[in-house]
Amino acid sequence: MGTGVKNTFNNVGERYGYGGNAPMDQRIYYFNVKEIVDNRFGTATPIPFRIVDKSLNLDIDVTIRCNGVYSFKIKDPIVFYTNVCGNVDNIYNKETIKNQMRNELMSAMQSAFGKLSNQGLRPNEIVNHCKELEELLNVELSNMWYKKRGVKISSISLSSVSLTEQDQNIIKEAQRNAMLKDTTMAAATLVGAQAEALKEAAKN
């Protein structure tokens, strides 16, 4: 009896021992470890932000809205397979998990913004500190994203950061009061106001 025939009979015998299935189950999984881009986010509700400006004697809590886009990478495919997609029979794409990740990102954003506000940043300055924001978010999300999913943020970009109209008015008023405390600026403001009054009087 040839070797090939013997191996066939041995395999058949082993299958009976495994309930009719082959004793070994081999699969191949492909992971995209490149940067996964164009993941958009936005604040469904405003995020608290503290503004501290000693020059204006200002220390207030405001709320901000922001939107932007971020990218991420699968840094540890084994962790991603084990905890995320191991029970999926077909293709697993980002659409399956994007809503969950967006909600987690926005939750982590509150803490990250709090740390940026401790640096004395104004809300409109945050867009120039995206690299710091990226690092802060990776720290905030390390347990949830990296340790549990093997994922890390690669980059983040903010399209806009805006305050409510009420908060904007409070800051403008604080700036105006600070300006009037400076005698030189106060005199200039008074002269300007008088000039405008004279113009209006001349029109009438």
Per-residue pLDDT averaged across 102-131, rounded? 90
User: Which amino acid is it at 88?
Assistant: V
Q: Tell me the chain's radius of gyration from C-alpha atoms.
A: 30
Share of the chain above pLDDT 90, in %: 41
pTM of the model: 0.69
- Residue 84 phi/psi, 5-degree rounding, is -120, -55
pLDDT given for residue 140 in this prediction: 93
Tens-place pLDDT, residues 3-40 = 654 555 465 555 555 555 555 667 788 899 999 999 99
Q: What tokens were used for 127? A: 């867009």
Mapped onto helix, strand or coil, the DSSP state of residue 63 is strand
Which of 140, 116, 117 lies closest to 53, judged by CA?
117
pLDDT given for residue 187 in this prediction: 47
Tens-place pLDDT, residues 140-188 = 999 999 999 999 999 999 988 898 888 888 888 877 777 766 555 444 4
pLDDT given for residue 183 in this prediction: 56
User: In whole numbers, what is the pLDDT of the chain averaged over residues?
Assistant: 80
pLDDT at 110 over 50: yes
Measure the CA–CA gap between 14 and 21, rounded to whole angstroms.
9
Question: Regarding predicted confidence, which is higher, 181 or 130?
Answer: 130
- Going 56 to 61 to 62 to 67, the CA torsion angle's sign is positive
Per-residue pLDDT averaged across 131-142, rounded? 93
Measure the CA–CA gap between 139 and 120, rounded to whole angstroms.
20
Instruction: Give the CATH number of domain 31-163.
Output: 3.30.479.30
